[in-house]
Every structure is written in structure tokens, then in C-alpha cells.
Chains A and B, each alone.
Chain A
Amino acid sequence: MEQIFSNDFHYLGLIVLFPLLGAIINGVFGSKLPKSVVDIIASGAVLLSFFFSILSVNILVQSPDSVLTYTAYQWIYTGSLSLDIAFMLDPLSAMMILIITGVGFLIHLYSTSYMAEDPAKWKYFSYLNLFVFAMLLLVLGKNLLVTFIGWEGVGACSYLLIGFWYTDDEKAAAGQKAFIVNRIGDFAFIVGILLLYSETGTFDYIQIHEMVTGSAAIAIAPVAAPAVILIFIGCTGKSAQFPLYTWLPDAMAGPTPVSALIHAATMVTSGIFLLSRLNGLVSMSHEAMWIIAIVGAITAFFAATMALVNNDIKGVLAYSTVSQLGYMFIGIGVGSFVGAVFHLMTHAFFKACLFLGSGSVIHAMGGEQDIRKMGGLKKWMPVTRMTFLVACVAIAGIPIIGAGFFSKDLILWGALSNVHAAQIEPVAAGGIQVQYLISQALPAITSGSALEIATMAEVISWVVYLLGVVTAFMTAFYMFRLYFLTFEGECRADEETQAHLHESPPAILIALIVLAVLSFIGGWTGWPHVWAPEGAAHYMLAFEHWFDPVFQTTQDYRIANRFGDGYAAWEWGSIIVGSTMAFSGVGLAYLFYRKRPGLPRAVSERLAKVHTALLNKWWVDEIYDFLFVKRAIQAGKASYDFDRFFLDGLLVNGAGFVTASLGKAMRHLQSGDVQRYATYIVLAIVLALMALL
């Protein structure tokens, strides 16, 4: 990576600074300020950040460098370790800051209305601004440590916001669970980056990237797999992947805009961001990539099954988020980093829109979240309904008019054409495997000689792909189930609720409309390759090309699909399969919840056991509680008993007792009887002599 380092692009500092200032002002003085001022400070801070983000990205586009950096100050300096608070703007962080500040601003705007009644609004906005600050640190960080500061910071803000209504113990517990489960991941994260540091001697992304793509790669190769796996475990915590996803559904206890911003659009995608940031390192280890892909696929599938039967409007969206994040990890695992970040972006649009839509509904319903008590809401809430529908189309992946179609298709195509299936032997130490694959593996495959050896890898590849496809079907089904039950049909709410139903105020609607528009057109930046004619490729594949400087391997992977030159037919096949899944999912939902409303009950009775398992979320929470939480407390109790009765009781007090007893015993020796003393002296001398001789 040749680039001129401009080390003083201070806009980056400003972007980060505004939300921090907003948080401090509202946090310290907010309780005394009028609510409108609180709104203006909080939203204004993020808007300013957004404004400077646009300016910065614009400068990045015109700049000959692919990276702009800014070093704020030296944070830690000990021995050979020097850590700066430094930021970098490259195509990846550019996309992230636009999402964070852009979507973030819309959600702030939305919150001004949504939280209007809350007496602690100032605190809410202070936390929310602080979150934006931490999230910006996370994505703009030039080294792993700045990212980690943000990483933990967003976790803390998430904790505070989930438990925002802390007088409800259930909500406070949800916040705590989120933090602790995330910490399990963070533990692995720390060990992972230490392992990486012990071989590379740096935390700097640019240096790490240079090392893993350069001659130093041979030295790093042995730790690549464990380091990536450990960092990935950190990502499973933050990005709610199996087995650490359980906190996210509970996190819905927080205010709905928080769910939209933190638990859908931004924070939960930081795992995908981080692995994309480390794409050079990740691509060094195909074992690690397999694990990522498999975990992603399993999560996508199981979370989707749980969304099928959930009756809480936010619950469905929560499991849907877990599932969609699984997709993104599939993308990373199969080397389609572009697919992953593309889905990250479209998901941010449509999922934020869905969550905010659900918030609008919940507000109108007076806090009711059960979709069985909704229905027919389109009569009262036309705008909310339209935007929700657009977002549902997007997530279901309806071709062309749904943004999710493009990004999901890219990931599924990546999974299908995955070069790893062609892996015929462990990668040569340190070599960049993609180049190796192109030069060695592909010819072997086309000539048929490597097929047998690659069987296992191919099986895994197909499993990941098929899980992705089935999940696409389920996604379309549960989203339209949600849509039909909420907005179509007869209203099942009671009279009183119906009387109060109303469309939301403008601040909420504006946010919804903007996000709906983005969900509609957001995918048009990355069309399937087979649809992009030679001349228009520059525009139709704009998204991929934007990331060319970041994902050095992108083109390699694009070329190195395992179908070789004849890939076009396969890609068409992938598109058709994906679209079919989307349409049939929507169709089935229509059949179940519009045409034949008796069917769902009949099916659930036929599949009673599965239905119960799904309703109970596969009992994962209960299993964890039994396996870990209870064990940890048992261990604590046992250790405490050991502390009191053995260490302190037996050893310490025992030593004291022995000393005291000895003292008492010795007292008898001091009788004052001179003759007895003489006897002792003689005895001692005899004993000493015996010992010497």
C-alpha cells in the first residue's frame, strides 16, 4: 500500500468531537435545560458530524491517497509500545461514518418526538450522543486499540440504554446480560490482539495489513488462525452470533430508537466491520474463514427459525437482525468482504426503518408489542405502513425493488462460488492463498484432478450456501407474516386502544420516509455482475469498486470463482434461486395470514414439538443459565467457603491457635526453678553434641 500519509486531516477529529461535546453538555447541564434545547444540542451534534463526514468523504474521493489519517495525541508510550489516539478515513470507514452519523441523525430526530414525554430525556440524549462518539471511535480508529476503546464504549452505552428504564428489573437485567456476554467476547478479543501483537509488534491496521500482505507474512502465518478465531469470538459477542447471540433479543428492552440505532444499524455490525478491516489477516487462514462461514450460516438459520413464531413485534426484528448478521459473517467467511459490508449498509437502512416503524406502531398502540393484538393498522397509519412495507420488501430480497436483494445475492453468490471449496491442501506458509489458488488450484480443478480431495470442503461450501438459501426463504416469510399481522386484516386491539390509534408526528415520519427511500434505492449501487454490461460496470458495480483499495483480494476472489469462465450461468442460477425463495416466502406468508388464517394454527398443531421448541427459543437461555451462570455462582460459593473455612479458618487461625498454645505450653517451662533450668541446659548440650557427632 503506497500512500502519502497526510497526518493532519483534522476533520476526523471534529467528526468524533461533536457527539462527545453533545454528550458532555447534555450530561452535565441537561437536567436544567429546556427539552427543546436538549433536542437541538443532541441532534445538532450528530448533524454537524454528518456534515463533516460528507465533507471528509468528498475530500477522500478527490484525494490521490486511499487513506487520510489524523493523529490526535499519543495515548500510551512505554518501552517499544507506542499507541496513538489516531484516526483513519478510507473507503471502509467512510461508509461506516456516513451510516453512523446519517442514520444516527435520523434516529436522533426520531427520538426527539419518541422520547418527548420522558423526564430523563436529557440523559437519554447524552447516552445516545456518547454512543455515536464511541461508535465513531470504533470505525475511525487507526489501530486496534482505538477500535477497542470504541468497542467497549459502545458496549457501555448499550448497557446504559438497554437499562434506560432501570426501575424495571427485567430491563436492568437485560442491560447487564448484554454487557457481560459481550465481555466474554472481549476477553477472546484481547487475547487475540495480544497474540497478534506478539508476532507483529504493532496494533496499527495499516502496518498489520502491510505485514500480512508482504514478506513478513511467513512469520505471522502460524498465529493467523488462532488470532483470527479469537478476534472472531470477540465479534460473535458484539455482533450477536452463535453462541453469544442471546443478549440481543433481550436488548429489545431498551427504547425502540435505541434498538434501531445500536441493535440493528450500527453497533452490532462492528464485528463485520472489524473483520473487514482485518481482511488481509482473515484471508490468511482458511480454517478460520470456514469457522466464520459456518458460525454465520448456523446463526442465520437458527435465528430465522426463532423469528418464525415470535409474537413480539420487536422480538421478530431482533431475531431477524441476528439472522441477517449471520449472513454478513457468511460473506466474510467465504471471502466476499464486499458482500458483507454491502449487506451491512442495506441492512442498516431497512432494519433501522423497520425498527423505527415498529416504534411508531408501539407508540400508537400505547406500548403494546404483541402482534396478535394488532392488525389493520394501515387504516390509521398510512405512512408508517408504507415505509414498513418498503423495508419488508427490501429485507425479503424482492429483486430490484428491494435493497436486500442485491446484497444478499452477492453473499449467496460468494458462498456458491467460494474458492475455498477448491482448496486442495493447507495453504503454503505465508503465501497469499488467493494467488496460490489462481495459479495452482484452479487449473487443478478444471482438469478434474483435485475434485476428490476437495470433497469435504465442497460439502461444507454447499451446506453454507443451502442454509443461506433456506434462511432467505424464512426471512421473506417471517417479515411478511409480521407485516400482514400488523398492518393488514382486521384490527384485533381493544376499543380503547383503537380510539387512540394515530399516525405519528412529523419528526418520526421524516426519519421513516428517508430510511424507506434508502431501503428502496440503496441496493442499486451494486448489481449482479452478469447484469452489468461492460460499459456500465463502473456505475453498476460502484459499490464494489469503491472498496477496491480496501479489499485487495476482492478482485482476486471475483475472478477466482470455482466455476471458472463459465460462471455466468451459475450466477444466473443463484439469482433465480434467491429470488424464488423471496417470492415463495412472501407467498406463503400471504397464504397463511391473509388467505387461509386457519392454516398457521393447523401447522403449529401438527408440528407441536418444533413449535414449542421455537417458542422457547430452543431453550438456549435456560441451557446457558444451567451450564455457566449457575456453575459460576457455585464456584464462587465454593471458593468463598474455602476462603473462610480452610484458608482463614484452618490455616490462619490455626497458625494463631498453635502459636498461642505453644506460648501456653512454654509458659510452664519458665517456672523460675533454677535447677530445672540447669537440667534443660544439660539436656540441650547433650542433644547438640549428639547431633554434631
Chain B
Amino acid sequence: MFEMMTTPLLGAPLVADGGIPWLTLTTFLPLLAAIALAFVPKQQFNIHRNGALLASLTTFLVSIPILFNFQARIPVAEGQPFTFQLMEGPIEWIPSLGITYTLGIDGISLWLVMLTTFTLPIAILSTFSAVNKNVKEYMISLLILETGMIGALVSVDVFLFYVFWEMMLIPMYLIIGVWGGDDRIHAAVKFFVYTMVGSLLMLVGILYVYFKTDVNGAHSFLLTDMFAVVQGLSAQEQIILFAGFFLAFAIKVPLFPFHTWLPLAHVQAPTAGSVILAAVLLKMGTYGLLRYAFPLFPDAVKLFAPYIAILASIGIVYGAIVAMVQDDVKKLVAYSSVSHLGFCVLGLVAMTPQGIQGGMFIMLAHGIATGGLFLCVGILYERRHTKKIKDYGGVAKAMPIFATFFMIMVFASVGLPGLNGFVGEFLAILGTAQSKFLWFDAPLVSTIGEASWQFQSMENGTFPAPGQMAGPEYTALAFAAVAASGVIFAAGYLLWMFRRVMFGPLTNPENQKLRDLNGREILYMIPLILMAIHMGVFPKFYLSRMEPSVDQFLRYMDANVTAKDTVRVERIDSSYVPVKSLRHDKGEEAEAGQ
């Protein structure tokens, strides 16, 4: 026992062929920097700021090889929903409990990791003038947060994932609670309690599945081992466990009606906190759904899919119309997140290639666009110390460069083709329209009763001519149509806000004094603008690296869901060569060790 406990964390070669462990480096670089900064005296603001910036930039640079070493087409792990590559480990961490240190990446986590490393330097750069108290602690929080986020994304061991997941919680709680606005404590506590409730539910679920695993007579937290359990779960188990997982992630997303912590947290959080919250933390919810909740409990997902879609559709419209009546710019952007993430969840749960890739693309696009919007709000707030729309007006006259950047971000968020927002939303809507996964199960509908009336009436109706399209196909189209209506509302609330803030006469003397962006602000806005354009003009660059993973995921779902022919697998040319599964490899390794 003692011997096992002392197994060195980084003792064995992390990467099988002795290469450079990019994932580990990317994950722990910020943490190391945070530890280093802890030894620097508190008053050395510049060292803390520049040090954190340098660390996050280095992390970004270190993450670039991940992108280049990532191969879109690799042999697929048979019977698994995911094929991880650039694997590091598995190294035994707590062998008695089957806990390992295993990192890996696939098309689903790749871009989120890149998004995280890309966003952090920008967020840190934006704090240089915004945060002047406790700079040291702030920078350390941000860096620990980065390690938590990246770690959660690259973990292939569920226990490890949970550790990183909880690791994100504390710094964010501090960022809101210490550096936030007037009502920061309330916001931080609400954020913490809300997320914690979800996390605990998920932990129960994780442990339950863990005790079901059986690898040579022992339990395992390795993700790949957990998926082996799926077939053995009864429908009832799936439903209950899925509910737990789903709740944890739905809160994080946040999906209507679990979103009420978000506006509060966003409004109270400092700019960098809002940016990271919007860009990455929310995506942990959608990522978790895709990585854990969906593949672990396929039948439960099928059962709940239409209802999740209903919540997502409500969220799209509800978030938008609530955003419309906000008098606080930041709150408006916060509610717009509810709307955008609704698109994302709808796309994911549609279980079509376009839907899932659309949802994943929205995760990235929303990160860039909404992150950018929060930065813009932060820039205004720093100058005027107000977030009330009515305090502004005519700002474009005083800040022309800012106006241009803000406009582009607004257009990206509105979903203007050519910028990044459109691609994801379009694919998600398209995928939804094509989905069979969102059809209500016939027996379920009859038991619920009310829900069936509309399909009945559509079936009997004359719109359109009977024969080709009838019945449940409308379910998917109806979801798509509701989602598409979001494009109207998005234009409504964002452009209206933009007009009230930026256009009109510049009458307020306070606003006349506003100075335009300085070099540092331009420096951190430009990468976001370029990304928004690049993602809109060349989406294939991003999609092509997601596509094989999504395809494999869909094949897995198709194979494991009882209701056949509901998951849409479209790719005909599957040029993968199936190889032995990861679990198998590990077993062999264990044997060799003995």
C-alpha cells in the first residue's frame, strides 16, 4: 500500500514514445507560474501583471503544438465514443482506487483547449488597468483557474476531471467575490452554491458508475472503462444517473430555467472574470454534456432529448426577449448568453453531424464574440464607471476605433454571415431540422397526452400536402423554427443597445471626454476580431478537426441507443482502421508490468 502511494506523479515517461508531454505542460504551466508568483512581494504589481501575462502567453504558445500534432483522421478506438490522441499516461496515481493520471485530447476538446489558452492572455491583459487592489491574488486566481479549465478538458480519467472541475470553482468564486461589484458576495455565493449542488449530484453519478466498472476485478475511473458499463445499466439507472449529470452541466451551461445565477455573476464579476466565464466556463457545461452525460446514458438522453430541446428553445427566445428589456449593458450581454447557449444545447442534443458540430462551433464562436462584448463593456465601464445604457449615447463620436471593434463584435454575436456567429447557429438549426432524435417517443407522448395534440392536428391538417411529411418530422422542424426566430431577437436587442450606447447625439459632457482605445486595448481586441472573421470565413479549418470525432461519437450513440435509426450517422466513407480499444491497451500494459 505504502509503495503504491509513493508512485511518483511524473516518474514514468508520460508519452509512450518519450516525446514532449504538451498536454501536461499546457495544463500545469499556469499553475507553476501561480506558485512562482506567490513568492513575489505583494506590491510588485508590474511583476505580477507581466508575469501572469507572460505565463499565459507561454501557455498559449505551448498549446500550439497540440493543434499541429493533432491528427484529424486516426484509427478509431473500437466501441468507444471517443478516440483520444496525444495521450499522456495512464500513470497510476492512486492505484488502490483505480485512479490514474491520464490526459488526452480529441476533436471535441481540442478547440476548447485552444480557446482557453487563447482567451487567458487577452483576459489578463484587460485587467492591467481595471484591477488595482490585490493584484497578486487576482493573477494567481486567474492562473489557477486556467489550469483547472485546461485540466478538466484534457482529463481522460473521470476522477482527475472532477478534481480539475472543482479546481475551477474556487478561483472563480474568489474572482467574483473579491474583485466584483457592489453585490459581489451575493453573486459569488449564488454561483458557488448553485454550481456545487450540480457538482455533488454529478459526483454521486460518477461514483455509481465507478462501482459498476470492472477491470480485472477492480474498479476504474478511466473514462474508457466507464463507457464499458453503459450496456449494463438498466433504463431506470440510466434515467436517474443522467438526471444527476444533466443537472450539473445544465446549471453550468446555463440552460433555462437553471440560469438565474448567470446574470448576477456576470454583472458582479470583474471584466476578466466575465470574459472567462462566458468564453470558457459556460462551455464546460456543454462540453460535459457531450463528453459524459450523453455517451454514458444513451437511452436516457433519447428519452429526455425532446424535453431538453424544449428547454433550449425556450432559452433561446426567453434569453433574447429578457435581454431586450435590460437597462444594464452587462446584464444584456449575460442574458444573450442564455440565448446563444440555447442554440448550442439544441444542436448537441439533435444528434446529427451538423447539429453537434454546430453546437461545438457555437461554443467557440460564443467564446470569441461574447468574450469580446464583455471586453467592450469593460472598456466603457473603466472610463465611465457605469453600465447603465442610459448614461451613454453618441459614444461612437468620441471613440471611433472602439466603435468599429464593438460593432464587429455585435455583428458576430448577431450571427451575421462572414463572422463566426452565423456558422454555428446555422449548422445547429440545420442539424435540428434534420434530427430524428428530438421526436417524442410515441408511448411517452401518449402517456403525456397534452403534447400529442399538436402533432395530431398537424398530421390531419393540410399543411403541406399529406404523404411526404407528416407527424413527428414537424417536431424537429418546429424546434428549428423556434431557434431560427432567435435571429430576429438577437438583432433586436443587440442593435438597439448599440444604438442607445454608441449612436445619437453626444450630449453628455462626461461622454464627450471619453478617450478612444489605447495601444494595449487595441492589442487585445485585434486577435478577437481576427478570430471572429477567420472563423466566419474559413469555418472548415475548425470543423474538419471536429468532424471525425463527432462522426465516431454519433456511431457510438447509434450503436448504444435502443431506439435505432434516431441518431443520424451521415459519413459514408469511414476510412478509419479500427484498432484495439484503449482499455485493452491498458490491460496489456498491466500484464506486462506483472
A residues bordering B, Cβ < 8 Å? Answer: 73-81, 145, 148-149, 152-153, 156, 159, 163, 166-169, 172-173, 176, 179-180, 183-184, 186-187, 190-191, 194-195, 197-199, 219, 221-223, 225-226, 429, 632-633, 635-637, 639-640, 643, 647-648, 651-652, 656
The answer to the question of B495 belonging to the interface, with a C-beta cut-off of 8 Å to chain A, is yes
Provide the residues of chain A in CB contact with B323, threshold 8 Å: 636
Please state if A176 and B496 are interface contacts (CB–CB under 8 Å).
Answer: yes
Other 10 A-B pairs with CB < 8 A, given A79-B547, A163-B503, A648-B260: A75-B539, A75-B540, A183-B492, A197-B430, A222-B465, A222-B469, A632-B324, A636-B321, A636-B324, A647-B260
Please state if A152 and B481 are interface contacts (CB–CB under 8 Å).
Answer: no
Given B321, B434, B487, which contacts A632 in the complex, CB threshold below 8 Å? Answer: B321
Please state if B480 and A80 are interface contacts (CB–CB under 8 Å).
Answer: no
The number of residues on chain B lying at the interface, defined by a beta carbon within 8 Å of a beta carbon of chain A, is 70
- The stretch that binds A, out of B11-19, B205-213, B415-423, is B415-423
- A647 vs B488: C-alpha distance in the bound complex, in angstroms? 25
Provide the residues of chain A in CB contact with B506, threshold 8 Å: 167
B residues bordering A, Cβ < 8 Å? Answer: 190, 193-194, 257, 260-261, 318, 321-326, 352-354, 357-358, 394, 396-397, 411, 416-418, 422-423, 426-427, 429-430, 433-434, 463-469, 473, 477, 480-481, 484-485, 487-488, 491-492, 495-496, 499, 502-506, 538-540, 543-544, 547, 550-551, 568, 570-572
A180 in contact with B488 given A152-B417, A640-B322, A648-B260 (CB within 8 Å): yes
How far in angstroms is the closest Cβ of chain A from B504? 4
Please state if A639 and B321 are interface contacts (CB–CB under 8 Å).
Answer: yes
Please state if A81 and B492 are interface contacts (CB–CB under 8 Å).
Answer: no
- A414 vs B433: C-alpha distance in the bound complex, in angstroms? 38
A223 in contact with B504 given A76-B427, A78-B354, A80-B571 (CB within 8 Å): no
How far in angstroms is the closest Cβ of chain B from A167? 5
Please state if B543 and A199 are interface contacts (CB–CB under 8 Å).
Answer: no
Please state if B429 and A183 are interface contacts (CB–CB under 8 Å).
Answer: no
How far in angstroms is the closest Cβ of chain A from B4? 38
Please state if B484 and A639 are interface contacts (CB–CB under 8 Å).
Answer: no
Please state if A195 and B477 are interface contacts (CB–CB under 8 Å).
Answer: yes
Q: Would you mind naming 14 contact pairs between A and B with Cβ atoms under 8 Å apart? A: A79-B353, A81-B353, A81-B430, A176-B495, A180-B492, A180-B495, A190-B484, A195-B477, A221-B465, A222-B469, A640-B326, A647-B257, A651-B257, A652-B261
- A194 vs B547: C-alpha distance in the bound complex, in angstroms? 21
- A180 vs B495: C-alpha distance in the bound complex, in angstroms? 9
Please state if A148 and B503 are interface contacts (CB–CB under 8 Å).
Answer: no
How far in angstroms is the closest Cβ of chain A from B422? 8
Closest Cβ neighbor of A199 among chain B residues: B468
How far in angstroms is the closest Cβ of chain A from B538? 8
Please state if B484 and A187 are interface contacts (CB–CB under 8 Å).
Answer: yes
Given B257, B465, B481, which contacts A191 in the complex, CB threshold below 8 Å? Answer: B481
Provide the residues of chain B in CB contact with A74, threshold 8 Å: 540
Please state if A191 and B484 are interface contacts (CB–CB under 8 Å).
Answer: yes
Provide the residues of chain B in CB contact with A194, threshold 8 Å: 429-430, 433, 477, 480, 484
Closest Cβ neighbor of B468 among chain A residues: A222
Scoring B322, B357, B416 by chain A CB atoms within 10 A of each residue's CB, the highest score goes to: B322
Please state if B397 and A167 are interface contacts (CB–CB under 8 Å).
Answer: yes
Please state if A198 and B484 are interface contacts (CB–CB under 8 Å).
Answer: no
Closest Cβ neighbor of B260 among chain A residues: A648
How far in angstroms is the closest Cβ of chain B from A502? 31
Please state if A156 and B499 are interface contacts (CB–CB under 8 Å).
Answer: no
Closest 9 CB pairs of A and B: A79-B353, A79-B570, A172-B503, A636-B325, A648-B260, A169-B504, A149-B417, A222-B468, A636-B321
Provide the residues of chain B in CB contact with A169, threshold 8 Å: 499, 503-505
Closest Cβ neighbor of B490 among chain A residues: A183
- A51 vs B554: C-alpha distance in the bound complex, in angstroms? 50
Closest Cβ neighbor of A166 among chain B residues: B503
A166 in contact with B487 given A79-B551, A222-B468 (CB within 8 Å): no
A635 in contact with B321 given A79-B354, A153-B418, A184-B488 (CB within 8 Å): yes
- A191 vs B483: C-alpha distance in the bound complex, in angstroms? 10
Closest Cβ neighbor of A223 among chain B residues: B464
Please state if B260 and A643 are interface contacts (CB–CB under 8 Å).
Answer: yes
Provide the residues of chain A in CB contact with B465, threshold 8 Å: 221-222, 225, 429
Please state if B499 and A172 are interface contacts (CB–CB under 8 Å).
Answer: yes
Provide the residues of chain A in CB contact with B357, threshold 8 Å: 78-79
Please state if B417 and A78 are interface contacts (CB–CB under 8 Å).
Answer: no
- A198 vs B417: C-alpha distance in the bound complex, in angstroms? 21
Provide the residues of chain B in CB contact with A225, threshold 8 Å: 464-465
Provide the residues of chain B in CB contact with A429, threshold 8 Å: 465
Provide the residues of chain A in CB contact with B488, threshold 8 Å: 180, 183-184, 186-187
Please state if A639 and B322 are interface contacts (CB–CB under 8 Å).
Answer: yes
How far in angstroms is the closest Cβ of chain A from B442? 21
- A163 vs B503: C-alpha distance in the bound complex, in angstroms? 9
- A486 vs B426: C-alpha distance in the bound complex, in angstroms? 49
Please state if A191 and B540 are interface contacts (CB–CB under 8 Å).
Answer: no
Closest Cβ neighbor of B425 among chain A residues: A190
Provide the residues of chain B in CB contact with A184, threshold 8 Å: 488
Provide the residues of chain A in CB contact with B321, threshold 8 Å: 632, 635-636, 639
Provide the residues of chain A in CB contact with B324, threshold 8 Å: 632-633, 636
Please state if A180 and B491 are interface contacts (CB–CB under 8 Å).
Answer: yes
Please state if B503 and A76 are interface contacts (CB–CB under 8 Å).
Answer: no
Provide the residues of chain B in CB contact with A186, threshold 8 Å: 487-488
- A652 vs B258: C-alpha distance in the bound complex, in angstroms? 9
Provide the residues of chain B in CB contact with A159, threshold 8 Å: 495
Please state if B539 and A173 are interface contacts (CB–CB under 8 Å).
Answer: no
Please state if B469 and A223 are interface contacts (CB–CB under 8 Å).
Answer: yes
- A169 vs B396: C-alpha distance in the bound complex, in angstroms? 12
Please state if B502 and A166 are interface contacts (CB–CB under 8 Å).
Answer: yes
Please state if A223 and B416 are interface contacts (CB–CB under 8 Å).
Answer: no
- A197 vs B539: C-alpha distance in the bound complex, in angstroms? 20
Provide the residues of chain A in CB contact with B544, threshold 8 Å: 77
Please state if A637 and B325 are interface contacts (CB–CB under 8 Å).
Answer: yes
Closest Cβ neighbor of B417 among chain A residues: A149
Given B190, B322, B499, which contacts A176 in the complex, CB threshold below 8 Å? Answer: B499
Please state if B504 and A166 are interface contacts (CB–CB under 8 Å).
Answer: yes
A167 in contact with B495 given A198-B433, A637-B325 (CB within 8 Å): no
Provide the residues of chain B in CB contact with A219, threshold 8 Å: 468
How far in angstroms is the closest Cβ of chain A from B434? 6
Provide the residues of chain B in CB contact with A168, threshold 8 Å: 504-505
Provide the residues of chain A in CB contact with B433, threshold 8 Å: 194-195, 197-198
A167 in contact with B491 given A194-B477, A635-B321 (CB within 8 Å): no
- A226 vs B326: C-alpha distance in the bound complex, in angstroms? 36
How far in angstroms is the closest Cβ of chain B from A402? 39
Provide the residues of chain A in CB contact with B572, threshold 8 Å: 80
A167 in contact with B322 given A149-B417, A179-B491, A222-B469 (CB within 8 Å): no
Closest Cβ neighbor of B423 among chain A residues: A76
- A167 vs B400: C-alpha distance in the bound complex, in angstroms? 12
- A635 vs B493: C-alpha distance in the bound complex, in angstroms? 13
Please state if A183 and B484 are interface contacts (CB–CB under 8 Å).
Answer: no
How far in angstroms is the closest Cβ of chain A from B560? 19
Provide the residues of chain A in CB contact with B394, threshold 8 Å: 167
How far in angstroms is the closest Cβ of chain B from A14? 18
Given B397, B426, B484, B570, which contacts A80 in the complex, CB threshold below 8 Å? Answer: B570
Scoring A79, A168, A656 by chain B CB atoms within 10 A of each residue's CB, the highest score goes to: A79
A81 in contact with B354 given A169-B503, A198-B477 (CB within 8 Å): yes
A77 in contact with B543 given A148-B417, A194-B429 (CB within 8 Å): yes
How far in angstroms is the closest Cβ of chain B from A594? 42
- A212 vs B551: C-alpha distance in the bound complex, in angstroms? 31
Provide the residues of chain A in CB contact with B466, threshold 8 Å: 222
Provide the residues of chain A in CB contact with B495, threshold 8 Å: 159, 176, 179-180
- A78 vs B424: C-alpha distance in the bound complex, in angstroms? 12
Provide the residues of chain A in CB contact with B469, threshold 8 Å: 198-199, 222-223
A656 in contact with B193 given A78-B543, A153-B418, A639-B318 (CB within 8 Å): yes
- A187 vs B483: C-alpha distance in the bound complex, in angstroms? 10
- A149 vs B543: C-alpha distance in the bound complex, in angstroms? 19
How far in angstroms is the closest Cβ of chain A from B314? 10
